[in-house]
Amino acid sequence: MPRDGTKPARSLRALDMLAFFVADAQTGFGPFVAVYLTSQKWTPVQIGLALSIGTTAGMLSQIPGGALVDAIANKRTAAAIGILGLTASALLLALLPTQLATMAALVLQATASSVLTPAIPAISLLLVGHAVLGERLGRNARFASIGNGLAAAVMGVIGATFSTRWVFLLTAALGLPAMTAVAAIPPAAGKPRRTGAGQDSLLRGAWGILRDRRLQVFGACAVLFHLSNAAMLPLAGIEVTRRAGDLANLIIAACIVVPQIVVAVASPWVGRQSSSWGRRPVLLLGWAALPVRGLMLAFLPGPWLLVAGQAVSGISAAVFGIMVPLIAADLTRESGRFNLCLGMLGFTVTIGATLSTLIAGWIATVASAQAAFLALSAAGAAGTLLIWLAMPETRDAAGTA
C-alpha cells in the first residue's frame, strides 16, 4: 500500500502482525472445536447446540462490544481485552474439558471476539483514513489469512500427532505475540480525534444508524451469508471425522489452509476493486460463491475432495472480511459511529450463524449431511439475489469514488 507511506512504518507493520497473530489464535476455534467434541462422542445435535450457545453469546455482545470500542479512548486497549479473552477461553477448553466448561469457554471466546473484531478495523481507520481504507483492509485480510492458514497447518499436525487438546494450548500461547503486536502500535495511533458525534447517547446513535435503509438491506444480506456459511465447515468436519478417523485433523486443516491461500492472494485485489468498481459488484461476487461451495460440498465424493469445495470459500471470505468494515465506514463517516455500526452488523452475522448451526445440525440428523449442504446453498443463493435486487451502492457516500 504505497499511499500508507505517510504513516509511521512501525505502526503499519505492527498492524500487519496484529492481524496475523489474532487470526492464528482464532483458528483454534470453530472447526477444531467440532472435531474435538466429535472425538468426545458428542452427537451432531449436541455439537450444534454447543456452537449455537457460543454464537448466541456473540450475538448478544456484538452491539455492546462495538459501543465499548467506541467508548474506550485508546483502541489498543480494546484489542488487548479481546486477546486476553481468547487466551482464557482456549486454556479453559484445554485444561477443563467438561461439558459446562466447554460451554463457558465458547461463550467467553464469542464475547471476546465481539470486542476484538471492531477494534482492529478501528485502529486501521485511525491509521490510514477513509480514502485508502479498502486497500488497508485488504492488507489486513492478507496477513490474517496467512496467519490462519499457517496456524491451521500446524494445529492439524499437532492434533493428529498428539490430540486436539494441544490445539487449544497452542491457541492460548499465540496470545503472547498478539499482545506484543498491540504494544508495538504507538499509543497515539489508537486514539481518535473527538467529534460532536461522539457526544451522542448510545441509543440516539444506534437509532440513527438503524434508520439507514442501506444498513437494513446489508444487514439482511449478512444474515443470509452466515446462514449459508457458518455451518458448512463444522458440518464437513463432522462428516470427515466419521469417514477419515485419525486423519480428520489433517483434512480439516487442509480445508482451512486452502481457502486462506485464496484469501491471501485475492484480498488486496478485492480492496482495490471495491474502490474502482464500487461496493455492490464486489458483494455480488462474494455472495455468489456461497451456493457454488454448498453444491460442491454436497456432491463431491471422498473426504479429501471436500478441500476443493472449501477453496471456493476463500472468495466469499475475502469479500465479506473487507466489505463489512468498509461499508460500515461508508455509512458512518458523518456520524462517527463506526464501531457501533460494526457491532450492529456483527449482531446480524451471529443471528445467521446461530440459525445456521442449529438448522444444519437438525437437517443432518433427520435427513442427511447432503440435504443440509443443499439447504445452506439455498440460503447463499437467496442472499445473492437480495444484493442484486435491493442493495444500493455506498462508495460515493464515503467520498471515495
CATH of the domain at 31: 1.20.1250.20
pTM of this prediction?
A: 0.77
The closest alpha carbon to 114, from 350, 351, 353, belongs to 350
Q: Which of 190-194, 296-300, 383-387 bottoms out in mean pLDDT, i.e. has the lowest? A: 190-194
Report yes or no on 194 lying in a domain: no
User: For the stretch 178-194, what's the b/e string if a residue is b when 16 or more beta carbons lie within 10 angstroms of its beta carbon?
Assistant: bbebbeebeeebbebee
pLDDT value of residue 245: 64
pLDDT band at 190 (very low <50, low <70, confident <90, very high): low
Is pLDDT above 60 for 73? yes
pLDDT band at 34 (very low <50, low <70, confident <90, very high): confident
Report yes or no on 311 lying in a domain: yes
Structural domain count, the chain: 1
Report yes or no on 63 lying in a domain: yes
The closest alpha carbon to 253, from 165, 333, 158, 169, belongs to 158
Report yes or no on 201 lying in a domain: no
How far the first Cα of the chain sits from its last, in Å, is 18
- Tell the residue number behind the cell numbers 445456521, with chain if given: 356
Q: By residue range, what is the domain housing residue 332?
A: 9-187+206-392
pLDDT band at 351 (very low <50, low <70, confident <90, very high): confident
Which amino acid, residue 264? A
Report yes or no on 335 lying in a domain: yes
Residue range 183-208: mean pLDDT, rounded: 63
- Tell the residue number behind the cell numbers 470486542, with chain if given: 115
Report yes or no on 61 lying in a domain: yes
Tell me the three cell numbers of residue 34: 467440532
The Cα–Cα gap between 82 and 49 comes to: 24
pLDDT in tens, 137-177: 999 999 988 887 788 778 888 888 888 888 899 999 999 99
Q: Max CA-CA distance within the chain?
A: 58
pLDDT value of residue 29: 79
Report yes or no on 30 lying in a domain: yes
pLDDT band at 304 (very low <50, low <70, confident <90, very high): low
Tell me the three cell numbers of residue 175: 496470545
Mean pLDDT of the chain: 84
Report yes or no on 4 lying in a domain: no
